[in-house]
Structure 1
Amino acid sequence: MTDVPWGQLFGLLFMTMGPIRAIAIFSRVGEDDSQPEVKALANRSALLVVGAFLVAILMGTGALGAWGVSFPVLIGAGGVALFALSLQVLLVPPAQGGQIDATKVHAAAVAFPGLFPPIAVVVALIFAVAFPGVETHAAIIGMGLGIIALNWFLMRRSKSILRAIGPVPLQLFGAVFGVLQLALALQFIHDAVAML
C-alpha cells in the first residue's frame, strides 16, 4: 500500500466528485437547508453515490478484466471523459437555473452525473486496477466514502455556505479546476498512447 500515491488519488477524487460540485448543486435544491425534503434528498443522493462508488471498485475491476479492457485503454477513456468535462466547464457558462423542487426531483437525477460524474468512476477504477489488493481497495473505498461524507455534510448546509461566501469562490474554483482537468486529461491521453 505504500506505493499508492494517496495524495494524487485524493486530489483527483476531490476535483472530480468533491464538495465544490456538491455545494453548487444543492444550493439550488429547495428554499432552505432545514427543509425535510432537502435533507431527505441529500441523504438519498449520498447513499446512491456510496452505492455507485462501491460498485465501481468492487465490480468494475472484475468487469474490465472479463471484457479484456487493457489498462492503457482505461486511462485513455479517462482522458477522453475528463477532456469533455473540462471543456464543458471552461466553455459553457454555468446555468442560471432556478430552484429545484426537492419533492419533484429523483435522487438519481441529482447524484448522476452531478455528484458522481463518469470521470470519478474512471479515476477510482484506474487506481483500483493499478494497485490491486484487498487492503489497497479498502483504503481507496475509505477515501471515497470520506469525500462523500464531507459532500453530504456540505449539501445539507449548501445554501448557508453560499450565502456566507457568495458565488465567486465557487466560480473561481470551477475555472481553476477546469484548467487542471484539461491538463490532466491530455496527460491521461498521452500516457495511454505511450503505454500502447
Structure 2
Amino acid sequence: MTEVFVTLFVIMDPVGTIPIFLALNRGRSAATLHRAAWQAVAVSFAVIVAFAFFGQQILGYLHISLPALQAAGGLLLLLVALELLTGKEQEATAAADVNVALVPLGTPMLAGPGAIVATMVFSQRVHDLASFAAVALGVVLVHVALWLAMRFSTPILRLIRDGGVMLVSRISGLLLSAIAVQLVADAVRAFVAGEG
C-alpha cells in the first residue's frame, strides 16, 4: 500500500496541483471551486479505476502502445501549459458551460499517462485479496489527498489574490510545459528503443 501511495502521490502531485487548479478556476466563486475539486477527483478516480481493471484490454483492442498513450498525454498537457503561459485560460474558463474540472484537471492532469501506467503496473501484481486491498487503498488515499489539496486551496487564493494567481499560473505553465515535453521525450525514446 505504501509503495502504491508514494508512487502515485509523486506522479499526481497534490501540492503541485493547487496553483494549476487556482489558475484554471480564476474568477470563480468558492462554491464553484469546491464543486470543481470533487468533480476533478471523481473523474480522476474513475479513469484510474477503469484502467486498473481494463487498461491492457482497452489498449490492446485499440492497438495503442503505452508510449503512444504517454505521447498523447504529453501533447494535451502542452496545450494546457501554453494556455497558462499566454493567459488564454481565462477565455476558456470564462464561459459558464466549460467545466475545467473534467478536462484538463480530472484528465489528463490528475489521471495522466504516468498515473495510468503506474496503476496498470500495480494492478498486474495483484494476485490475492491482500495485494488487491493494498493497491485499492493506495489509490483511494492519493485521491483523498488530491481532494483535500484542492478543497482547501480557497484560503491560499484569499492570501495571494488575483495578482498572485496570475504569477503562479505563469510559473505553473512553465513547469507543466516541461513535464509535457518530458512525457513526449520519454515516449519518443521508448519508440526508438522498440517498445512502442
Determine if the TM-score, normalized by the shorter chain, exceeds 0.5.
yes
CA-based RMSD: 3.9
TM-score by length of 1: 0.67
Structure 2 counterparts to residues 78-89 of structure 1, below 5 A: 78-86=70-78, 88-89=80-81
Q: Which of 103, 108, 127 in structure 2 is aligned with 1:118?
A: 108
- 2:106 is aligned with what amino acid? F
Show CA shifts across 1:121-163 (max 9, x none).
4323322444512267765554444343233223333343123
Structure 2 counterparts to residues 39-54 of structure 1, below 5 A: 39-54=34-49
Show CA shifts across 1:5-46 (max 9, x none).
97665433228x93333333344332xx2x4x6544543443
Is the contact between residue 79 and residue 185 of structure 1 (CA under 8 Å) also seen in structure 2? yes
Is the contact between residue 42 and residue 156 of structure 1 (CA under 8 Å) also seen in structure 2? yes
Structure 1 residues 140, 41: closer, same or farther in 2, change over 3 A? same
Cα distance in 2 for partners of 1:42, 1:9 equals 18
- How many residues get paired? 184
SS in structure 2 opposite 1:97? helix
Structure 1 residues 145, 27: closer, same or farther in 2, change over 3 A? farther
SS in structure 1 opposite 2:63? coil
- 1:53 is aligned with what amino acid? I
Report the equivalent of 2:63: 69
Report the equivalent of 2:86: 93
Show CA shifts across 1:47-89 (max 9, x none).
3332232122222233224x1736xx22133123303422551
Is the contact between residue 49 and residue 111 of structure 1 (CA under 8 Å) also seen in structure 2? no
Give the Å deviation of 1:182.
0.7
Cα distance in 2 for partners of 1:96, 1:88 equals 8
Instruction: List runs of 5+ in structure 1 lacking aligned partners.
Output: none
SS in structure 2 opposite 1:195? coil
Structure 1 residues 93, 64: closer, same or farther in 2, change over 3 A? same
Report the equivalent of 1:151: 146
- 1:69 is aligned with what amino acid? H
Is the contact between residue 18 and residue 148 of structure 1 (CA under 8 Å) also seen in structure 2? no
Structure 1 residues 87, 52: closer, same or farther in 2, change over 3 A? closer
Q: State the identity %.
A: 20
Between structures 1 and 2, the one with greater helix share: 2
Cα distance in 2 for partners of 1:99, 1:22 equals 14
